[in-house]
Amino acid sequence: MKVVYHEDFTQSYCSDPAAAPGRIEAVVKAIRNRVTFVEATPAKEEDIAAVHTQSHINRVKSDAIYDIAALAAGGAIQAAEIGLQEPCFALIRPPGHHASEGNAWGFCYFNNMAIALEKLKRESRIQNALILDIDLHFGDGTVNILEGNGYVTIYNPSASHAGAYLKNVKDFLFSLKADIIGVSAGFDNHAEDWGGLLSTEDYKEIGGLVRRASKMHGGGCFGILEGGYNHRVLGQNVMAFIEGMEG
């Protein structure tokens, strides 16, 4: 499977957990012999500005984060474009699902998922989309940007045990037809991460559900990295998700 990636994502661009040294390297080590890497390219500012206000873009520039954030957004666009033809994953950072039109928090700067889907929609490459956000934390930025646009249905699953969580994911994915399914793939709900809920095998099951649902709908699918902070298990979890998406 193709994975969009760039060596610059190993940079520790700030002090938050998403930018921690060794985090991206742990994933690369786990997946490098199983995937084909595609080099990420930065998003054009016009694609970022289609989602974010100019004042927010200027703030990100003033914080000296713009280059790496634009590279992450560009990687998400590439994954979505590839995902129209075959499953794809974007190994990118900073994450994005807490970034709204004019502000951001939670280790995020630009909303990678929103930028990618808005570009596909503007170019008439999709008519509708599903977003499955499996991060531990609610993707408020994605909801703020896309929920009112009429072509995207967003689901942030929650449950008290893994079995119910997986059932909720399955019910969502198979209930609505879509041209593409985008997964905001956070892995911080793992049993050995902050959330303590899901197993590595559960991420493989989720990836498989995404793949089967996209095939049933006759559409595409892709995932982009959001959270996940236990470096010891993060790579295994990403690999499991990728294996599931491979079908």
Residues annotated as catalytic (active site), given as ranges:
98
Among 167, 176, 153, 10, which Cα is nearest to 93's? 10
E runs forming strands in the chain: 2-5, 36-39, 88-90, 129-133, 152-155, 180-185, 220-225
At 165, the amino acid letter reads Y
230 three-state secondary structure: coil
Q: Which residues lie below 8 Å from residue 16, measured CB to CB, with a gap of 6+?
A: 107
Q: List strands edge to edge, sheet with 180-185.
A: 36-39, 2-5, 88-90, 220-225, 180-185, 129-133, 152-155
Burial 168-183 (b: 16+ CB within 10 A, else e): ebbebbeeeebbbbbb
Rg (CA), the chain: 16
Verify cis geometry, omega within 30 degrees of 0, for the bond prior to 94. Answer: yes
Beta bridge partners, 231, equal: none
Among 121, 10, 12, 110, which Cα is nearest to 60's? 110
